[in-house]
A and B are shown apart, each in its own frame.
Chain A
Amino acid sequence: MFKILSREDLAPSIKQFIVDAPLIAQKAKPGQFVILRIKEGGERIPLTIADYDAKAGTVRVVFQEVGKTTKELGTLKEGDFLADFVGPLGKAVEFPNHKRVLGIGGGLGVAPLYPKLKMLHEQGVEVISIIGAKTADMLIMEDEIKAVSDETYICTDDGSKGRHGFVTVVLKELLEKGEKFDEIIIIGPAILMKIGTEIIKPYNIPVMVSLNPIMVDGTGMCGCCRVTVGGETKFVCVDGPAFDGTQVDFDELMKRLQTYATEEKIALEKYEKERGGCRCHQ
């Protein structure tokens, strides 16, 4: 059992837990994730490690309530326990010899972006960041991103904060101005990573994405999370989650993410019924 030491609501439907997990905290590196299970009978879901503190023995995870498991997770409070918390999983990312990096985070993607930018900042790399959300109140981790960036751009889809529009608006401007980067990291919904990669491609700048397929074990023993990268089948849980965006078959990834759309709906409806009717409009 893994204790939730603290809980913070970062935005409507986006929550953060600090979990007591000393062994994972000691080994975790930017780019890695955990798999958690709330309770007996629960499913295993992957969550990015948004931060970790080896000394305190804690791991920070950020999640958005999108379905049954994440909604149930959202009802947990400080002092509650998670049945299972497994990690650190996946490959750690490395940035040898970079001088200037652009980091882009859309929606919940800001959470996995943060530890990478933090590491780059600590390495003395110049970090430019663009973070965005649908609306101002959905924007997460703004202060932390700013603390590890030399320059930060904020975007909202509705213009309620910062620039009006997607993060790709600022990306395009920077590239058109001729700004140079050793690498661009772009993390968010698959469609954002796909479009972002297409924008960056003509500039011949390396682009790193972090993929979010369906997972079961997270240790390479089932292949549920497979994606096509550079024409080859890769397992995101062991070969990723970070990949060269220009090599990823995003259309396949997006299709595969829909595999259980019907079942996800059934599970959520059953859960909400049991909790006393639909709460989506409350």
Chain B
Amino acid sequence: MPSINKSKVKTPMPAQDPKVRSRNFNEVALGYTEEDAVNEAARCLNCKNPTCMQGCPVQVQIPRFIKCIKEKDFESAISIIKETNSLPAICGRVCPQEDQCEQKCILTKKGDPVGIGRLERFAADWEREKGVKIPEKPNPIGKKVAIIGSGPAGLTCAGDLAKLGYDVTVFEAFHEAGGVLIYGIPEFRLPKEIVKQEVNFLKELGVKVETDMVMGKVLTVDDLFEKGYEAVFIGTGAGLPKFMGIPGENYLGVYSANEFLTRINLMKAYKFPETDTPVKVGKKVAVIGGGNVAMDSARSALRMGADEVYIIYRRSEAEMPARKEEFEHAKEEGIIFKFLTNPIRIIGDEKGWVKGVECIQMELGEPDASGRRRPVPIKGSEFMLDMDTVVIAIGTGPNPLLIQATQGLDLNKYGYIATDEDGRTSKEGVWAGGDIVTGSATVILAMGAGKKAAQSIDNYLKNK
């Protein structure tokens, strides 16, 4: 048995050199070796009352799986994770562990928490390299459940219900399953091959995935009930891009982050003309916003060959909603940050192409409803930035397509679907979860919502 590792710092994870990686789409973080993983696992104190688990929305048995890694029983480690989490290779990469499991780790009192995310990723990658064990199929219950949307919420809900023996079909509007995991989060943070393999794992569990199905258009929720589905889970996300409403937003070279990232990630425009979808990235690129989507857009623009990429954010560094790790990565790669800066107008040339962004300097005033200090423009501080491409990453709203086509669905005041704690909507037999309920949040929260809804759907169908 390895002894306890008393180091106060996390075992470092190897990463691609910033200079090299800022020009390729390969994964930035390279993952632990077996030795790294065992070494890091040995930092876990195996607490009797593990607080880390309180921080995990899908209740992964953290100390149990870490103990297995410490004992080099990687096979058991991954099985334990998969008892509650069907997408560990994804979670280990994109969860904001600093706000979840790792934040609750007892070691944070004296130093770094255990690298739970890195260990989860290690276990999942280890299994993938070895060849994923095909799970035993449960006895079929003989009841059909439809999942609308194949993002993290839908996939988790589907996986959990399939494990219970339900006949689950996932309906996806795009030609590939994964939602934001496929079209939004770039290859260099989450290789698409991994998403595909996680989806294949669900298929092995018996989940059917129907792509090219724009629900609300090709089939409605009521059509699904008519086709014999007894429960429906809506996990369609918050995919409607917000624009700023400033002059010049329709100039050529102005993208929503959704369009920019969809072209690059889903359509693989970074391989154009080997692939057919183009994307236009100029020498100077401005990304408006301060969240993870802004970081992803900026770092993608750099990899597409831009010379200078700016992030323009109206508040200061402290208020930025992006993950610290992503911010650090972006800085290392040479992204230029313009804080307390707000665009007021986009300028174009006579052919309609973007040539600049007029901005105004901001200062922080009183805290607003979100608790963050409200940015206030400083009079007379307008200035111009020359730009060839602008990507707007200021957030998204609920896509209305399915909502408008569904009768009897109550919405909240922001237009998202209203549900109770278990994800139950106002419509009989219909659940919802993830960003379509909460607005843009995180992958793991969407997964947590999918999990809760699956439990609730199971209770409902058992008693029906």
A252 contacts B by Cβ under 8 Å: yes
Which residues of the partner chain B approach A42 to less than 8 Å between Cβ atoms?
275-276
Which residues of B from 361 to 413 have beta carbons under 8 Å from A?
Answer: 399-401
Asked whether, in the complex, the Cβ of B243 is within 8 Å of the Cβ of A223, the reply is: yes
Question: Which of B38-86 touch A at CB < 8 Å?
Answer: none
Tell me the smallest distance from the CB of B77 to a CB of chain A, in Å.
Answer: 34
- Assess A233 versus B276: contact at CB under 8 Å? Given A87-B217, A89-B214, A219-B173: no
CB of B2 closer than 8 Å to a CB of A = no
For B, the interface residue count at a CB cutoff of 8 angstroms equals: 40
Contact of A88 with B258 at beta-carbon distance under 8 Å, contacts A238-B400, A238-B401 already known: no
What chain A residues lie within 8 Å of B280 (beta carbons)?
259-260, 263
Residue B267 lies at the interface, judged by CB distance under 8 Å to chain A: yes
Cα A86 to Cα B212 in complex, Å, equals 5
The interface stretch among A4-12, A162-170, A204-212, A264-272 is A264-272
CB distance from A31 to the nearest CB of B (A): 13
Please determine whether A219 and B214 come into contact, CB atoms closer than 8 angstroms.
yes
Question: How would residues 301 to 320 of chain B score, 1 for a CB under 8 Å from any chain A CB and 0 otherwise?
Answer: 00000000000000000000
Interface of A is mostly: mixed
Q: Which residues of A contact B262 (CB under 8 A)?
A: 216-217, 221-222
CB-defined contacts of B278 to chain A, threshold 8 Å: 260, 263-264, 267
Q: Which residues of A contact B256 (CB under 8 A)?
A: 222-224
Q: Does B33 sit at the interface, judged by CB under 8 A?
A: no
Shortest Cβ gap from B186 to chain A (Å): 16
Q: Does A116 contact B (CB under 8 A)?
A: no
**Interface size of A in residues (CB-CB distance below 8 Å):** 42
Q: Is A15 an interface residue (CB 8 A)?
A: no
Q: Judging by beta carbons under 8 Å apart, are B218 and A27 in contact?
A: yes
Is residue A41 contacting chain B, with contact meaning CB distance below 8 A?
Answer: yes
Is there an interface contact between A226 and B400, defined as CB atoms closer than 8 Å? no
> A221, B399: Cβ atoms under 8 Å?
yes
State the Cβ distance, A19 to closest chain B Cβ, in Å: 12
B273 touches A263 (CB 8 A): yes
Provide the residues of chain B in CB contact with A24, threshold 8 Å. Answer: 218
Interface: B299 (CB within 8 A): no
A-side interface residues toward B, CB under 8 Å?
Answer: 23-24, 27, 37, 41-44, 68-69, 83-89, 216-224, 226-228, 233, 238, 252, 255-256, 258-260, 263-264, 266-267, 270
By a beta-carbon cutoff of 8 Å, the part of chain B in contact with chain A is: 173-175, 211-214, 217-219, 239-241, 243, 249-250, 252-253, 255-256, 258-259, 262-263, 267-268, 271-278, 280, 351-352, 399-401
The 23 listed contacts between A and B (C-beta, < 8 Å) are: A41-B271, A41-B275, A43-B277, A68-B276, A84-B212, A86-B212, A216-B263, A219-B214, A219-B239, A221-B241, A222-B241, A224-B256, A233-B243, A233-B249, A252-B352, A255-B352, A256-B250, A259-B280, A263-B273, A263-B278, A266-B273, A267-B272, A267-B273
